[in-house]
Amino acid sequence: MVTTDFFTPVVDTPYEYGAIAAANSLSDIYAMGGVPFLALNIAALPPDLPVEISGEILLGGAEKCKQAGVVVAGGHTVQDKEPKFGLVALGFVHPRRMLTKGGVRAGDVLVLTKPLGFGVTTTALKRGLAEDQDVAEVIEWMSRLNQSAGQLAREFDLHGGTDITGFGLAGHGLEMASASGVRFRLHYQQLPFISCARKYAEAWTFPGGSSDNRSFYGPRVRFDAGLEELEQMLVFDAQTSGGLLLAVPPERLADFEQRARELGQPAWRIGEALEGDGIEVLK
């Protein structure tokens, strides 16, 4: 399998930007049940950007790839006014063991492997409103590889899953539900958020992509009447380098969670797949 992803900076520090971009690019391989083995850099950098900054971006990406056991075998650069960085990622997967959006079955339990709230927090950073400890928290989560989450999916022979990125939980969840011909029921109180997510939601620092997600996917998402508008928006919040959303057969859930603990991999139960269509979010 081959995939690519790259984007403009989401944080101010070049090394962390490179690491997040690499983790995000490799996530596409993990989200399909694969194991990445090779990558190519894609970089568009301003000609007047100090070489030390460019080097830190590439170093962050290279060291994240090394952590994943991935070889960076070159790449390509061009000049651009705004920095952009990411990877072409190549991975292996058995055709019969692919993780797909259409592999969910009614009765499956929905499990999320990273918290939410990255978009609203990084936008607060861009606006100069984010506190240092909040920036550190969101960088730590975005920099995490989905390596162990992908390992869990392979070990338990899961067939339904995706990663949560720009379309938010609601958008990517709808893609899975529609492809599988099922309905997702999510429980808001079970959704994991980074500690500062609500604070910045109250400041309404949502990125433009979150509003686009609500406009496009909103008609197919039914919210409990008791959920505030900001709580609803957090379900649409555009993520960068988010976790995997996995569908786990209920008879395998206990063993799955035990193995997740052994690997040190967070795994939150957030809902279930039912017969029907669309998404409903209960309070």
Same domain for 10 and 73: yes
DSSP letter at 4 equals: E
Q: Which of 44, 63, 96 is the last residue of a domain?
A: 96
Structure confidence at residue 81 (pLDDT): 94
In this structure, the answer to whether residues 83 and 142 fall within a common structural domain is no
**pLDDT of amino acid 231:** 98
Do 181 and 66 lie in a common domain? no
Q: Are residues 64 and 109 in the same domain?
A: no
Q: Are residues 210 and 90 in the same domain?
A: no
| Token output for 252 | 């395998």
**254 and 195, same domain (yes or no):** yes
Kindly report the number of other CB atoms within 10 A of residue 189's CB atom: 7
Question: Do residues 70 and 149 share a domain?
Answer: no
Long-range contacts of residues 13-16, Cβ cutoff 8 Å, at least 24 apart: 13/56, 13/139, 14/53, 14/54, 14/56, 14/57, 14/60, 15/56, 15/57, 15/59, 15/60, 16/60, 16/139, 16/143
What per-residue confidence (pLDDT) applies to 79?
A: 96
How confident is the prediction along the chain (283 residues), in pLDDT tens digits per residue?
999 999 999 999 999 999 999 999 999 999 999 999 999 999 999 999 999 999 999 999 999 999 999 999 999 999 999 999 999 999 999 998 999 999 999 999 999 999 999 999 999 999 999 999 999 999 999 999 999 999 999 999 999 999 999 999 999 999 999 999 999 999 999 999 999 999 999 999 999 999 999 999 999 999 999 999 999 999 999 999 999 999 999 999 999 999 999 999 999 999 999 999 999 999 9
Tell me how far CA of residue 187 lies from CA of 218, 247, 270, in angstroms. 17, 15, 6
- How many domains does one find in the chain? 2
d(CA 1, CA 98) in angstroms, rounded, equals 10
Whether residue 148 sits in one domain with residue 88: no
| Torsions phi, psi for 275 (to 5 deg) | -70, 145
Tokens 């990663």 sit on residue: 163
Residue range(s) defining the domain that contains residue 68: 2-96
pTM: 0.95
One-letter amino acid for residue 59 of the chain: L
Identify whether residues 65 and 185 lie together within a single domain: no
Contact 170, 231 (CB under 8 A): no
Task: Specify the pLDDT at position 180.
Answer: 98
How many CA atoms does the CB half-sphere of 39 hold within 13 Å? Answer: 34
**Last residue of a domain, which of 59, 75, 96?**
96
Q: What is the per-residue pLDDT for 127?
A: 96
- pLDDT reported for residue 142: 98
Helix/strand/coil for 14: helix
Q: Are 244 and 31 in contact (CB under 8 A)?
A: yes
pLDDT reported for residue 135 = 97
Q: Are residues 90 and 196 in the same domain?
A: no
Do 160 and 210 fall within a single domain? yes
